Amino acid sequence: MEKRLLGNSGLEVSAMGLGCMRMTFGDAPIGNKQDMITFLHKAVERGITFFDTAEVYGPYTNEELLGEALQPFKGKIVIATKFGFNLLSDKVGRDAINGTDSRPEHIKEVAEASLKRLRVDALDLFYQHRPDPNVPIEDVAGAVKDLILAGKVRHFGLSESGADLIRRAHAVQPVTAIQSEYSIWFRDVEEAVLPTCEELGIGFIPFSPLGRGFLTGKIDETTIFDKSDIRYNNPRFTQDAIKANQAVVDLLNRIAARLAATPAQIALAWLLAQKPWIVPIPGSRKLERLDENNGAVAIRLTGEDINEIDDAMAAIKVVGSRY
């Protein structure tokens, strides 16, 4: 597996990361614990060194899973986790989230709890999960800076933050990585966030790099989602939207056929080709899907390929908002 540096931070990770949320949260049925532990071990064997989790996934169970599964690889891998939500202790899943909470004292409480669940001495990468309108970003960055000085956190990250917040946070504590949604069919970050990352030397981590599965080509208008599935009420996954957006998959299929690849691999290769400091984190729970995603690292899209994709996407109107 190739490695990539996240901006100027010196943090080196595998060129393809692994989003772990769906192992314990988001869809039913969730992964069987022992199966997921075996899967995570196989991921490490295949060269994955970058794993993404959060306290809210479960809540807590995702961090606990990674802590148990990845303990034998301590020092050889990077685990990113997140803070920033107010969780109701008597609720599970999405019902547990009761708004944002990035008060400095709460950040430090979350850090201590995450350290225990992940069974590590320091959190490799600690993201603010979502901006908190009630707490100045300077206070957030200052709290993480304190944790870094105390040796409890190694790197600071932000998720779904705009360019202004990134600059303000970075002025207090250098930001190592920004995580936001980015894919061939959702490119809002190209306007201001990616240029800011490039200017400041910050890595970028696209979540949902496969459009929540749509860009794999495995979904069509006959697909039925369970009510527990995060796509059940998503505007981009209505029958009409799926049918209208088929043009995106047709484009990926065209490029994939030419390069003896799959649509998912082309979508991931396109992201990797954008900047050398971009590291996608597709979510997976099956070994064959993991191997397929990892195969994208070896695909080299030419300038002509990139232009063809960009020109075609410019003529396609993606139907449905992302949430």
Q: Which residues are catalytic?
A: 57
> What DSSP character marks residue 183?
B
Question: Are 306 and 43 within 8 A, CB to CB?
Answer: no
Burial annotation 171-188 (CB, 10 A radius, 16+ → b, else e): ebbbbbbbbbbbbbbbee
Distance, in Å, from the CA atom of 319 to the CA atom of 238, rounded to the nearest integer, reads 10
CA distances from 74 to 16, 71, 111, 123, 316 (A): 19, 5, 18, 11, 45
Tokens, residue 129: 């999960």
Torsion of CA 12, 18, 19, 25, to 10 degrees: -140
What kind and span of H or E run contains 97?
Answer: strand 97-100
Read off the amino acid at residue 85.
Answer: F
Tokens, residue 125: 């990468």
**Helix, strand or coil for residue 270?**
helix
Q: Would you call the peptide bond into 104 cis, given omega within 30 degrees of 0 as the criterion? A: no
